[in-house]
Structure 1
Amino acid sequence: MRTRIVGSARYQEGEEPAEDAAEVLARAGEVLDELEALIRRINRTNSTVRVEGGGTLTDALARRDVLRLRHSVITSAADAASGRGQAGTVRQLRSELRILSALPVAELRSRADELAKEIREVDTLIQRTNWEVDLIED
């Protein structure tokens, strides 16, 4: 809707805009009000629903988000330490300086695999709970 509003917000004299920008803007306001109400219901539901293993659905969502961030950091660290995506990491001559890894790449890859498994498990728990629980009504 934003693109439609921006595209019709100005038009050349003597021509008609593709859409009535004011009308689309008003409709966008209505849609955003509906979205806010839905988000409030989802948040209320997530904060009251208990999940397997303890905690709320909100806790599980926070856990999944942090696991994803942790996985991303560890994967990036392993990639950087292994030289992945970096040109010039192969020595042409023995006289060239060697590039050494400051981090244990194999351990990082193993930890990333463990995190990926944990992410899948938490995500499955969240998805299952979403299917089993009805959204709280206003």
Structure 2
Amino acid sequence: MSDNNDRINKKMKLAEGLLLRADLLKKIEHLQNRIRPVLVVSDDKLPQEDPDKLIAQLRNAIQDLETLVIRINKTNNETLVEGEGVLMEALAKRDSLKMLSERLRRIRLDAQFNNSGDSNLKNTISIKKLQKEMDETGRAFRKIDSKIQEINWLTELKD
């Protein structure tokens, strides 16, 4: 087991688990980048690092990530969010609100850009209605995101 194993299996808040997951993903990428240059060397040279040790570290980091992701997913599937169902559902709703907000913003920009300067052109959508929907979507996103952030710092990661 890796030296991170104690950190992976300890009691922690969901937010800590999410930060640790990000760290593990960076570590895995870093190890992959360290492995690449030591895979092949000239006959008369030794690699700067032992590729077998690096691959073992990579294996351990990926196993740690698996354990942590299982704990995060279990927590997301078992933690209730007021008015939203379980945390997993709230996360999906937040992601869809973010996507909708980004797409609506892009549509507004496209409509404004394509109608700049030519008096013979008119918009086929109401920018005012679009802006109203953008505002509502933004408010809904911020509301659910605040709930999620609060839960992340208050909820113990499941075993």
User: What is the TM-score normalised by the length of structure 1?
Assistant: 0.82
**Counterpart Cα distance in 1 of 2:155 and 2:133:** 33
1:105 is matched with which residue?
A: 127
Percent sequence identity is 28
Among 90, 93, 102, the alignment partner of 2:117 is 90
Letter in 2 for 1:100: K
2:58 is matched with which residue?
A: 28
User: For 1:64-107, what per-residue CA distance to the aligned partner results, in whole angstroms no more than 9, with x for missing partners?
Assistant: 01111111111111111111xx7x9435xxxxx83432222232
C-alpha contact (below 8 Å) 1:64/1:122 kept by paired residues: yes
- The unaligned stretches of length 5 or more in structure 1 are 92-96
Q: Which has the higher contact order (CA 8 A, sep 6+)?
A: 2
Moved more, 4-13 or 74-83: 4-13
C-alpha contact (below 8 Å) 1:78/1:108 kept by paired residues: yes
- Decide whether aligned partners of structure 1 residues 18 and 90 sit closer, same or farther in structure 2, where only a CA change above 3 A counts: farther
**Counterpart Cα distance in 1 of 2:123 and 2:89:** 36
Q: 4+ residue stretches of structure 1 with deviation over 6 A?
A: none
Displacement after TM superposition at 1:39 (Å): 0.6
Q: Which has the higher helix share?
A: 2
Displacement after TM superposition at 1:54 (Å): 4.2
Alignment: residue pair count? 129
Displacement after TM superposition at 1:120 (Å): 1.1
- The unaligned stretches of length 5 or more in structure 2 are 1-30
Whichever of the two has the greater Rg, that structure is: 1
User: What is the TM-score normalised by the length of structure 2?
Assistant: 0.72
Displacement after TM superposition at 1:53 (Å): 1.2
